[in-house]
Amino acid sequence: MKWRDIFGWALAAVLAIVIIAVVGGYIFLKSNRFQQLAIHKITQAADQASGSKTEIRALDLSLRTLTVHLFDVKVHGTEQAGKPHLMQADNLTVGITIQSIWHKKFNLNELVIAHPVAYLRVDQSGKTNIPQPPPNSASGSQSIFGMAVGHFQIVDGEIYYNDRKIPLDADLHNLDLTSHFEPGTSSYKGTISYDNGRFHYAQLATMPHKLHANFSAAASGLTLTAANVAVGASIATVNLNITNYSNPGIVGDYKIRLHTQDLAPLVPGTQPAGDVSLVGKVNIPNLSAPSLLRVLTTDGVFLSDAFSMIASTDRIEARRLHGNYHLANGSLRANGIGLETLGGNIQAEVSMQHLD
């Protein structure tokens, strides 16, 4: 037998072994045994890092795109028996990019969470249903900005927050969060939106509203730009800069077009009509202060071409409303107020104290 034949048979044997290994590996990766092993490893790592209890019904791996799909993911917190668990998601998709096999370097180029539902609770003593990570957990000291994800998206999410101590209730539906990581700035940039949002704080309850905003999140803080909030026919455009996550404060500006008909349920019998615009700046140095009205500072101008409302049994119309306002230390002062009504002009100043 010539050496060429020997070399040919040897090469064929090696190729056959490689093909068998690849086919066998593929079959194993698609087997139920591999699924159970992978799910066990994933849930074990998640539980050790977060202190929670994680469940995953099924897993699917696509070798062609290096994408992992996790189905029916449930995360249990410290909730009592019979209470909703901390979070659940219909589907979690993770896209992986291999930088170096030898050095075991991988990147997450995509993370998509479909229909996540989170239940956050705080009891009367201030204890939450969020578990504490173990003291030896490495994730406790690792910044989220050191774990970059190329593209991150939350689709059709819902958040339920119930704090009996404040008290505060919040429901957000159709939550959509999309972001991407920019290595040059070490920040996440993206958009966030939701529909049918409701907040209830103490005795105050907001009307159903929706939000769409652009954001940039870095280790130094969070910036919201062109954040549009719609309540009925009223629209607000807000730009905010939130600094110092451990003791957050807010600086920003806003433009509000208030459709007074949206206020009709708050002032029954007055039947307001017309639009009022407000333009101003806001500063809250400490969001954790006992009274936000005590530390909040805002000033700006308000104006309206025309609006009307019922007083007693007559409808009163006002035109060319304008003025300035300043709110600080729980006190409101408005000056330069002018309007045309009842065939004449009215000028006034208003001062209100102890709003908190």
- pTM value is 0.68
Residue 269 clears pLDDT 60, i.e. is over it: yes
Cα–Cα distances in angstroms (integers) from residue 157 to residues 77, 90, 172, 290, in the given order: 18, 10, 8, 31
Q: Can you give the pLDDT at residue 26?
A: 53
Q: How does pLDDT run across 91-102, given as a tens digit for each residue?
A: 999 887 766 556
Residue 261 clears pLDDT 50, i.e. is over it: yes
Residue 305 clears pLDDT 50, i.e. is over it: yes
Q: Can you give the pLDDT at residue 273?
A: 92
pLDDT cut 90: percent of the chain above it? 29
Comparing 211 with 51, which gets the higher pLDDT?
Answer: 211
- Going 42 to 45 to 48 to 52, the CA torsion angle's sign is negative
Please provide the DSSP assignment of 26-63 as one string.
HHHHTSHHHHHHHHHHHHHHHHHHHSSEEEEEEEEEET
Residue 109 clears pLDDT 60, i.e. is over it: yes
Place of tokens 């929670």: 52
Cβ neighbours of residue 23 closer than 8 Å, sequence gap 6 or more: none
Q: How does pLDDT run across 3-46, given as a tens digit for each residue?
A: 444 444 445 555 555 555 555 555 556 677 778 888 888 888 88
Helix (H) or strand (E) holding 238: strand 234-243
CB 69 within 8 A of CB 59: yes
CB 56 within 8 A of CB 47: no
Q: Can you give the pLDDT at residue 153?
A: 82
Q: Can you give the pLDDT at residue 202?
A: 56
Place of tokens 């790592």: 45
- Residues 46-61, mean pLDDT to the nearest whole number: 85
Number of DSSP helices (H) and strands (E) in the chain, helices first: 3, 17
Q: How does pLDDT run across 120-160, given as a tens digit for each residue?
A: 887 767 678 888 777 655 444 444 544 556 777 888 888 88
Q: How does pLDDT run across 188-246, given as a tens digit for each residue?
A: 888 988 888 887 755 566 678 899 999 998 888 899 999 999 998 999 999 999 988 77
Domain ranges across the chain: 51-133+144-218, 220-356
